[in-house]
Amino acid sequence: MPADPDFLNDLADWRARRLAALAADDGWLNLTDRVPLVPGAQSVGRGPGNDIVLGVGPERLGTLLLGPDGQATLTPEGAAALPFAAGPETPPRLAVGRLMLEIHTVEGAPALRVRDLDSAARAAFAGLRYFPPAPAWCLRADWQVLPTPEARGIALRGGHAERVTVTHRARFTHAGRQVTLLPTHIKGGKPMFVFRDLTARESTYGAGRFLIPDDIGEGWITLDFNRAFSPPCAFTEHAICPLPPPENVLPFAIEAGEMKP
């Protein structure tokens, strides 16, 4: 039976938004560096004589001052200090010329993350690949509040880890088996699931995929795996991404959603 036109149109709109976000100035196609930081003043630039050597930008960009409280400024050569400013869901950030600088902190360890706004890699990106639309993988699941919130340790790519609090679980039935997925993060006020299934490595990114549902009601949630997408680590070595908890490693294939780049 052909897929419902509204389903296909909504999916096409979602894919267009996904590609636009990936290719945006704060997307994942233009990261060039992620360099550990220590508090204090450090010279920054592409030249080898700097304390922090970047892969892009001028020979000497300026002096980065990171305070013990995490506040940071950059003083370009011959100019006044410029403050980094955080947004609702963004790390402290500063645009300087063609570069966007960010103070990205994991496990209390800050690093300078750099984006090249004129990135040739972003301009040359060939686009995203998807499985064919699969309405059968748009599932209505039970959305259950946990009796007690659970503190969890979540492994991150590269050997790091973080602590999260899990408050809900989604449950559905597949091939006669009950499946439980845990949302370990919140993005844009919505729960985010990190999962891995049997398509990993062959068809989808090996570490797993993300899914952020936006159709949630009292006691139910729609898990549309056609909107599952690759994490930032699939596109750049300079990202640090969460790995799925054991419950979210699935013993079956979900041939829907985004395939590996």
Cα–Cα–Cα angle for 214, 233, 223, rounded to 5 degrees: 20
Instruction: Spell out the domains of the chain, with CATH numbers in brackets.
Output: 31-118 (2.60.200), 127-248 (no CATH)
Q: What is residue 165's three-state secondary structure?
A: strand
Q: Would you say residue 66 has pLDDT above 60?
A: yes
Listed as own residue / partner, the contacts of 250-253 with beta carbons closer than 8 Å and 24 or more positions apart are: 250/179, 250/195, 250/196, 250/197, 250/198, 251/198, 252/174, 252/175, 252/197, 252/198, 253/197, 253/198, 253/199
Q: What is the pLDDT of residue 2?
A: 60
Q: What is the pLDDT of residues 150-196, one digit of tens each?
A: 999 999 987 778 999 999 999 999 999 999 999 999 998 999 999 99
Least confident residue range of 3-7, 11-15, 208-212 = 3-7
Q: Which two tokens stand for residue 52?
A: 């922090």
Q: pLDDT tens across 96-126, in order?
A: 999 999 999 988 899 999 999 999 888 889 8
Phi, psi of 238 (to 5 degrees): -95, 5
**What is the pLDDT averaged over residues 42-58?**
96
Please tell me the distance from the alpha carbon of residue 169 to that of residue 5, in angstroms, as a whole number: 31
- pLDDT over threshold 70, residue 1: no
Percent of the chain with pLDDT over 90: 86
pLDDT, position 121:
86
77 has a pLDDT exceeding 90: no
3-state secondary structure of 170: strand
209-251 pLDDT per residue, tens = 999 999 999 999 999 999 999 999 999 999 999 999 999 999 9
Contacts of residue 217, defined as CB under 8 A and 6 or more positions apart, other chains included, come to 143
